């Protein structure tokens, strides 16, 4: 029996007749076997999105890559073909809060998260012991008002040296500089402890408490130069009682943050998130 490997194809392009047929034909020509297919058309923008998973015989991806490159010119496609056996390198940035980090590490160790973690970077040392328990290198990069520019240059250098495919801000309480956001566009994922666009910036639970909301939430989104305004990947909420205090909102919110970040990161790692402007299409 011929050895086969699994691949993932994502496409975004202006909508027109025949896209699915042409792509399916290219895959069939490469002896591909489609096992998962999802597509969506944004009727307002007239834009087409698709995500397919299929197997190919050994060496079949080279010819398919050439065929898709030619078709991309014809259809004005943004596309990606990836081997699902290759696990992305995910660098996690943290500050002092442990709950999102420990949740991701537990899911990673159990095999739930298809990723490699080459390092954990932090502006504080409190979570160094957590990294050590999982055998992951830890780098302390302190950030102060006086050393901010040098610190973020060091952070950027470290991310490049680590060959980070994805960067996760697991309650990393620093605002990334614009040049870093641009360099890693749609590769930096943040968990914000609010149901965006409500309560952006610092202390959102305190803002929510002062406003008297009945629902609090968390938002997993891509990081852009504009604070807490990047394309949203995943959100969820928790109900608040009239007698809940700020501490109760924080406690309930931590649970939501864990769930939302884990789901959002998994969607990203599995190539289920396609962006168009400030919107996302999530093939979950």
pLDDT digits (tens, 9 = 90+) for 162-211: 999 999 999 999 999 999 999 999 999 999 988 877 888 778 888 889 99
> SS3 for 128?
helix
Judged against a pLDDT cut of 90, whether residue 154 lies above it is answered with: yes
Q: Which of 97, 133, 137, 138 is nearest to 261 (CA)?
A: 97
d(CA 65, CA 205): 48
Distance (Å, rounded) from C-alpha 60 to C-alpha 30?
6
The answer to whether the Cα torsion of 134, 270, 95, 143 is positive or negative is positive
In the predicted model, what is the mean pLDDT of residues 68-75?
93
Q: Is the pLDDT of residue 275 over 60?
A: yes
**Contact by Cβ (8 Å): 269, 89:** no
Helical ranges in the chain per DSSP H? 19-29, 60-75, 99-109, 128-133, 148-161, 178-183, 204-211, 246-269
SS3 category, 55: strand
Which is more confidently placed, 96 or 194? Answer: 96
At residue 112, the 3 state secondary structure works out as: coil
Q: Output the six-digit token pair for 171.
A: 């309650």
User: Whole-structure pTM over 0.85, yes or no?
Assistant: yes
Residues 6+ apart with CB under 8 A from 221: 189, 190, 192, 196, 228, 230, 231, 232, 233, 264
15 is catalytic: no
In tens, the pLDDT along 20-42 reads 999 999 999 999 999 999 999 99
Domains in the chain: ranges and CATH: 4-83 (3.30.70.260), 90-282 (3.40.50.170)
Could you write out the DSSP letters of every residue in 20-45?
Answer: HHHHHHHHHHTT-EEEEEEEEEETTT
Per-residue pLDDT of 198-240, as tens digits, reads 888 778 888 889 999 999 999 999 999 998 889 999 999 999 9
Closest CA to 282 of 16, 104, 44, 49: 49
Percent of the chain exceeding pLDDT 70 equals 100
pLDDT at 253 over 80: yes
135 burial (CB, 10 Å; 0-12 / 13-18 / 19+) is exposed
Give CA–CA dist 157/179, Å, rounded.
12
- Start-to-end C-alpha separation, the chain: 32
Residues with Cβ < 8 Å from 198, sequence gap 6 or more? Answer: 204, 208, 213
Please classify residue 133 by burial: count the beta carbons closer than 10 Å to its beta carbon, then call 0-12 exposed, 13-18 middle and 19+ buried. Answer: exposed
Task: Please pick, among 15, 165, 228, 248, the residue that the annotation labels catalytic.
Answer: 228
Supply φ then ψ for residue 273, to 5 degrees.
Answer: -115, 120
Sign of the CA dihedral running 119, 138, 158, 223: positive
How many beta carbons lie within 10 A of that of residue 127, not counting itself? 22
Q: How far apart, in whole angstroms, are the C-alpha atoms of residue 79 and residue 49?
A: 10
What is the average pLDDT value for the chain, to the nearest integer?
94
pLDDT at 1: 53
Judged against a pLDDT cut of 60, whether residue 79 lies above it is answered with yes
């Amino acid at each position: 029996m011929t050895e086969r490997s699994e691949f993932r194809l994502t496409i975004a392009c202006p909508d027109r007749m025949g896209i699915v047929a042409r792509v399916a034909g290219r895959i069939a020509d490469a002896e591909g076997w489609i096992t998962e297919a999802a597509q969506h058309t944004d009727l307002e923008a007239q834009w087409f999105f698709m995500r397919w998973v299929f197997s190919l015989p050994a060496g079949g991806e080279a010819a398919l890559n050439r065929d898709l490159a030619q078709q991309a010119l014809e259809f004005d496609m943004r596309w990606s073909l990836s081997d699902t056996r290759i696990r992305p390198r995910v660098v996690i940035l943290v500050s002092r809060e442990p709950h999102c980090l420990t949740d991701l590490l537990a899911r990673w160790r159990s095999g739930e998260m298809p990723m490699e973690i080459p390092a954990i970077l932090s502006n504080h040392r409190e979570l160094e012991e957590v990294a050590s328990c999982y055998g992951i290198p830890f780098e302390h990069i302190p950030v102060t008002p006086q050393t901010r520019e040098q610190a973020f240059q060091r952070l950027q250098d470290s991310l490049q040296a680590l060959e980070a495919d994805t960067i996760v801000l697991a309650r990393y309480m620093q605002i990334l500089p614009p040049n870093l956001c641009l360099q890693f566009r749609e590769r930096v994922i943040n968990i914000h402890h609010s149901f965006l666009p409500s309560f952006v910036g610092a202390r959102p639970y305190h803002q929510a408490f002062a406003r008297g909301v009945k629902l609090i939430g968390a938002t997993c989104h891509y990081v852009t130069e504009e604070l807490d305004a990047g394309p949203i990947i995943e959100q969820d909420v928790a109900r608040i009682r009239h007698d809940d205090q700020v501490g109760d909102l924080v406690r309930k919110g931590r649970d939501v943050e864990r769930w939302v970040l884990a789901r959002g990161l998994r969607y990203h790692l599995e190539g289920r998130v396609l962006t168009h402007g400030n919107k996302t299409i999530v093939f979950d």
